[in-house]
Amino acid sequence: MNLIKNAFSDGPILIPYIAAGDPDQEATVEYVAALVRGGAKIIELGLPFSEPIADGPIIQEAINRALEAGMTPGKFFELVSRMDCEVPIVVMTYYNIVHQYGEIPIESFVSDSVKCGISGMIIPDLPVEEAELLLKICNEKGVDLIFIIAPTTREQRIKKIMEKISGFVYVQARLGTTGIHKDVSQTTYESLDRLRKYNIPKAVGFGVSNADQAAEIIGSGADGVIAGSVFVDMIDKGRMEGVSREDTNRLIEEKARELVRGIRGETENNKP
């Protein structure tokens, strides 16, 4: 059974992102559990890399904090193996780490991902044209390799990506890097329209932070909402303001529930 595709079987879902090791490993375990309690059906867990080119300032700072706290690929896999997570985990990282990991690079990374329970990978700096080896190993070991489609991705490349992709397609809602935005970009609708003919779950990320945005995205044809900066920002504010770990967990769970309500169409704007 494909755990990631199965996660979409009961309707549109929330896919939250946090950076592993921010501010420490034990906190990450608790935050993931809070997100699952809040209704997340897939967890996107960031493996920190020193040059996170697809990420905006909020996530970049979280990645830096995790690196300063000692997070490494080896510790990341140990951390995931301790989580006993009830939903699939997707690792989001950069190709430099994958390419240099272990005795047999790439194969070692995928093998250790499988051993600790990871179901999928997002590698934003790996073009589909250069992904053949990683894709081959992922297919052999039952790991979904998830590609990002940007507003500028041409139709010919979309077709090529859709021939290779598995799990779901990550639809980049707007140009630029990740972050918190107040509106849903027009490019979101345009991208979803272009992908409507492909029979694979479509999850929209980059900028989602509230229930109304989530409802609008699902109403436009998405099968999932990816939210990262909003959760990472809550974690950082809790750290900076001396909020207890217990209260931060509660706030994260509540925000996840809010986004899930939006995904289900249960927002203030949709009340009779």
pLDDT in tens, 79-112: 999 998 999 999 999 999 999 999 999 999 999 9
Tokens of 10: 């009961």
pLDDT, tens digit, 9 for 90 and up, residues 228-248: 999 999 999 999 999 999 999
- Which of 261, 169, 251, 158 lies closest to 218, judged by CA? 261
Q: What is the mean pLDDT of residues 115-125?
A: 96
Tokens of 213: 């945005």
* pLDDT tier at 180, thresholds 50, 70, 90: very low
Tokens of 99: 């390419």
125 flagged as catalytic: no
Q: What is the mean pLDDT of residues 33-56?
A: 88
Catalytic residue chosen out of the listed positions 22, 44, 112, 216: 44
- In order of start, what are the domains of the chain with their CATH numbers? 3-265 (3.20.20.70)
Tokens of 244: 């207890």
Average model confidence (pLDDT) for the chain? 91
Whether 175 has a pLDDT exceeding 90, the answer reads: no
55 flagged as catalytic: yes
Catalytic residue chosen out of the listed positions 10, 24, 55, 144: 55
Whether 177 has a pLDDT exceeding 70, the answer reads: no
Q: What is the mean pLDDT of residues 174-189?
A: 55
Contact (Cβ atoms closer than 8 angstroms) between residue 64 and residue 49 = no
Say which residue the tokens 């997707």 belong to.
Answer: 90
* pLDDT tier at 11, thresholds 50, 70, 90: very high
Q: Which residues are within 8 A (CB) of 219 and not within 5 positions of it... i.e. 6 or more apart?
A: 265
Whether 17 has a pLDDT exceeding 80, the answer reads: yes
Q: What is the mean pLDDT of residues 60-80?
A: 95
pLDDT confidence of residue 269: 57
pLDDT confidence of residue 50: 84
Q: What is the mean pLDDT of residues 29-47?
A: 98
How far is Cα 27 from Cα 191, in angstroms, rounded to an integer?
35
